[in-house]
Amino acid sequence: MELGDLLYLPRGFVHDARAREVFSAHVTVGVTAELFSELIAAIVRLPDFLKALPPGFSSADFPRETFKAEFAQRLDQLRTKADLDHVIDSFLEKTRAGAITIPEPTAFRADVRLPDG
């Protein structure tokens, strides 16, 4: 490797690195969330994922188990309806171009409250 090169090693890949003549830094960055961002972009092209939440979603007596089952079915559709090749190719293109950005974590907000249905 030369100065400025970047080597990608998948998580769990055992490795040992040594600098010969200069100081070297080892930085580990997880980018799995960025891959899921590409998946989210693909989801908005699927009609079932553009549906509004059902009426009464935030009410105390909302049928949660029924909704969970419907939501799980939609998640299962990702494997069959989402163009996963496009998701992966788009992610690889960004990775190779050095265009992956890791967002700053959002601060927890204790002042946000849900309506009481």
| Cα separation, 106 vs 78, whole angstroms | 27
Query: Looking at residue 65, what is its pLDDT?
Result: 93
Is residue 84 within 8 Å of residue 41, measured between CB atoms?
Answer: no
| Cα separation, 87 vs 81, whole angstroms | 12
61 or 26, which is more confident?
A: 61
Helix (H, G, I), strand (E, B) or coil at 34: helix
25 or 115, which is more confident?
A: 25
Please count the other Cβ atoms lying within 10 Å of the Cβ belonging to residue 67.
Answer: 13
| Cα separation, 43 vs 39, whole angstroms | 6
* pLDDT tens digit sequence for 50-101: 888 888 888 889 999 999 998 898 888 877 888 889 888 988 888 778 776 6
Percent share of the chain, pLDDT over 70:
73
Among 34, 28, 4, 31, CA closest to 15 = 28
At residue 1 the predicted structure's pLDDT band, cuts being 50, 70 and 90, is confident
Contacts of range 97-102, beta carbons closer than 8 Å, 24 or more positions apart: 98/6, 100/31, 100/34, 101/34, 102/29, 102/31, 102/33, 102/34
Which one-letter amino acid corresponds to residue 84?
Answer: L
Sequence spans of domains, the chain: 1-102
